[in-house]
Structure 1
Amino acid sequence: MRRSPLLPIFLTVFVDVLGLTLVLPLLPFYAEHFGASELVVGVLAASYAVCQLVSGPILGRISDRVGRKPTLLASQTGTFIGFLVLGSASSLWMLFLGRIIDGLTAGNLTIAQAYISDVTRPEERTRAFGLIGIAFGSGFLLGPAITGELASRFGYGAPALGAAALSLTSILLTATLLPAKPIAPAAATESAEAGAARPASVGRGDAFRRFFDRPLARRRLLEFFAFSLSFSTLIGGLALFLERRFAFGVKETGYIFAFSGLIGGSIQGGALGRLAKRYGEQRLAVVGFATMVIGYGLLGAAYGLPALLLLVAVGAFGSAVVRPSITTLLTKSVGRDEQGAALGVSQSLASVSQIVGPIGAGWLIEHRALTAYGLMAATFAVVGLILGAQKLPAGEPVEL
């Protein structure tokens, strides 16, 4: 483990995610504290994504040019500043400012994924991307539970300041542990690499056209987009849903997020690699989409805690296997020198989903359409399920 090139990136992502999860379940309650409506809460979440939509592809291309480490450090510094602004907020506009600053430098996950692609063989990549899932699961397990305690004891600003401290820790970890120039394994090859040596430093529109002109890359990006829309809708409205349906406060909501993280982290930390080898990433993604449909679609019918926990567990399993599977399939569909740009495009699609999902969820919940909120998240997962169940484009290699 000490020699693993993935250990430093796991530690930095884990600390980043832990900071994020301190803030995520807090923001709806924080915003309502300053008089925000449900729709404004959704717009607050979307403001981060709007800025990320601009910055994501740029940071992906910069990381291809100047290296993962310096770009990751710049991104983490923006996150640190954004959390400081949130922690010191005295009005609603300061919450928006903090999220905007964070969004304009938001590239941590994209750069981490590109780094993993740099240092792993294609056949090892799903399990390696599962490390990010473990970091997310562990962060969601610890962060939200801590948030509830901090907010109830010290006020809404305390979790954000705690997140800032974690972000600073992440900067130090990246600066001291992450190699400046990761070395790809000698045996690593890409089926799409032959003849694909194209410059990564192209505009965002060119990057979209480049990847969407290829049937397999287009399919992977659309599958990722469907997943992101579904997951963003669920997460964007979950705190408000729990507040309206179950009268949960920030502490109880934090525990639900933590339970979801426990399920996701358990899957990605244990069975994911074996499942990917046995069934293949594409079949695994299809199963994951199907369980997301069930978990999210029936959420609006949950009125008791046992039913809620069951559906959260089912949905958490689905998202835990879909994200790393689709990310692996995307990186296999492009050349090694294009992976940063491709992941930047995927981050742009994720940003669009993080605009549409929370605003749509907020609008529905504001109009007390709680069942429709769950169905909206499930509908996007159905799209991913349909895409995943289709045959591969003619002439493309079959992935086992």
Structure 2
Amino acid sequence: MDSKIKARQIIVLAVGMFIFTLGFGVIIPVMPYYANNLGATALDLGLLMATFSAMQFVCAPVWGAISDRIGRKPVMMIGLTGFGLAFTVTGLSSEPAALAISEVIGHWTGLSPHIGVLFISEVIGGTLSSGIWPATLAFIADITKPEERGNLMGQMGAASGLGVIIGPAISGFLTSWSLTLPFFATAGIGFLTAVLAYLLLPESRVPGQQPEVVKKVSMLSAIKTSLGFIFILTMLISFAGAMIDGTFGYFLMGKFGLSDQPGPVPLLFWTVQMTGPGVMGVVFAFMGITGVVCQGLLVGKAISTLGEQKTIIAGLIIYSAGIIAIYFSVGIVTLALFTCLIEVGFGLIFPSLNTLVSKRTDPDRQGEMLGVMGSFNSLGRVIGPPAGGLMFAVHIGLPYFVSGILGFIAAGVMAMLTRAEKRKAEILPTSVVKT
């Protein structure tokens, strides 16, 4: 492939990932407070997140396989359009008509009376947007050589991190007018990205590449392949991270007394007046900066020097230490530093996992196997948020200790398998997945 064409494709993909994660960066700081105003508890928010992930769990491998047949571009466009539609519904969920619908849903399901429409938006978003990630990763696999992918996966992660930097700042600005405005802005971003993909992104799959018959790979059969442990590890880390994601806003409310109204917030040895969404915006901005530096400059070199397995082990240790340390934060400064540790670990783990899966998968199965990986990721995020909500009800620090311990255990298992691979080479063989 012509280097200029490939460079243009990579730039468009990076811009797309930046805009896509910009949307998430916008809504992350405000969602816990918005849901809380609608009467949602930490467990309710966990169930909302689990609903989104459950739909991703079911649909990601389907969209991945579809992208192997019809191409990456249409799947990405469908996903981005669905992303915009879901956040439009979220923004409308506090309107009188939507609240009336929520009350009916709550009556028949036992949900809190004002959050039924939020569940509808999560179903829409999880179902339609679940194809974005596997299609994007498969697009990269289509246009790159195996030795290039670790660095490019890191660059995609850096583009995503940049969105996380800018998104919270936009959120803090928009919430000064309304808690719902960030959702509508996010919806617009999703629709805009779909238009940009249509206008600027050429298809990476040519007709001759598309297999005539696609044999579906179930999650159970995927575990039995050479990628099995990678899939299980993906699920475990996603589970641990989802417990934190689902309770972080409520953790800040409980530990520092934050709300959507300005109040005193401890920095380290002094206090400032900030809102809860504002604090989360600052924290996630620091995380985003760390992610850009890590994935843009560090992860490619780490994979080249250490290899994927050792990079994953290092990432797991850093990630787990940061999660446990969060509970001991004494102010926003230490909280930001500890969350940055999490982002460094995350930035080392997932590009390495993606690279391993891509390298060990047949070219005609990239979309499907990356979709299967997305399903394992989603499975962890289905279980994690409600589990975190239940643990949070017992003690606000319990989700953090459990998540950290799981990460350390995973690092130990990965280290043992890496040593065993050197001795036998049968545990994680380098053959590609074709069935």
TM-score normalised by L of structure 1: 0.90
Equivalent position of 2:410 in the other structure: 384
Equivalent position of 1:163 in the other structure: 186
Q: Secondary structure of 1:298's match?
A: helix
Unaligned runs of 5+ in 1: 184-196
Equivalent position of 2:125 in the other structure: 102
**Residue by residue, what CA displacement relative to the aligned partner does 1:84-111 show, whole Å, maximum 9, x if unpaired?**
1112222422222212111111221121
Given the alignment of the two structures, is residue 372 of structure 1 paired with residue 398 of structure 2, yes or no?
yes
- What is the CA-CA distance between 1:247 and the residue it aligns to? 2.5
- Given candidates 142, 150, 159, the residue that maps to 2:174 is 150
Report how many aligned residue pairs link the two structures: 382
Contact 1:236 1:361 in 2 (8 A): yes
Q: Quick one: distance in 2 between partners of 1:182 and 1:173?
A: 18
- Given candidates 234, 246, 249, the residue that maps to 1:224 is 234
1:364 partner letter:
M
Contact 1:298 1:311 in 2 (8 A): yes
Contact 2:299 2:348 in 1 (8 A): yes
Distance 1:127 1:88, change over 3 A: same
- What is the CA-CA distance between 1:329 and the residue it aligns to? 0.8
Unaligned runs of 5+ in 2: 100-114, 259-275
Q: Quick one: distance in 2 between partners of 1:81 and 1:2?
A: 34
Q: Secondary structure of 1:334's match?
A: coil
Q: Quick one: distance in 2 between partners of 1:226 and 1:60?
A: 21
Q: Quick one: distance in 2 between partners of 1:291 and 1:168?
A: 36
- What is the CA-CA distance between 1:36 and the residue it aligns to? 0.9
- What is the CA-CA distance between 1:397 and the residue it aligns to? 5.0
**Residue by residue, what CA displacement relative to the aligned partner does 1:243-268 show, whole Å, maximum 9, x if unpaired?**
21122311111211111111111111
Given the alignment of the two structures, is residue 131 of structure 1 paired with residue 158 of structure 2, yes or no?
no
TM-score normalised by L of structure 2: 0.83
**Residue by residue, what CA displacement relative to the aligned partner does 1:24-57 show, whole Å, maximum 9, x if unpaired?**
2322111111111111111111111111122111
- Given candidates 82, 88, 112, the residue that maps to 1:84 is 88
Q: Percent of pairs identical after alignment? A: 27
Q: Secondary structure of 1:267's match?
A: helix
Structure 1 segment 215-364 matched on structure 2, within 5 A: 216-248=226-258, 249-364=276-391
1:102 partner letter:
G
- Given candidates 115, 120, 127, the residue that maps to 2:144 is 120
**Residue by residue, what CA displacement relative to the aligned partner does 1:48-77 show, whole Å, maximum 9, x if unpaired?**
111112211110110011100011111111
Contact 1:64 1:200 in 2 (8 A): no
Q: Quick one: distance in 2 between partners of 1:382 and 1:16?
A: 31
Q: Secondary structure of 1:105's match?
A: helix
Q: Quick one: distance in 2 between partners of 1:27 and 1:118?
A: 36
Contact 1:52 1:103 in 2 (8 A): yes
2:191 partner letter:
L
Q: Which has the larger radius of gyration?
A: 2
Contact 1:207 1:341 in 2 (8 A): no
**Residue by residue, what CA displacement relative to the aligned partner does 1:123-155 show, whole Å, maximum 9, x if unpaired?**
11111111221122111111122112211x221
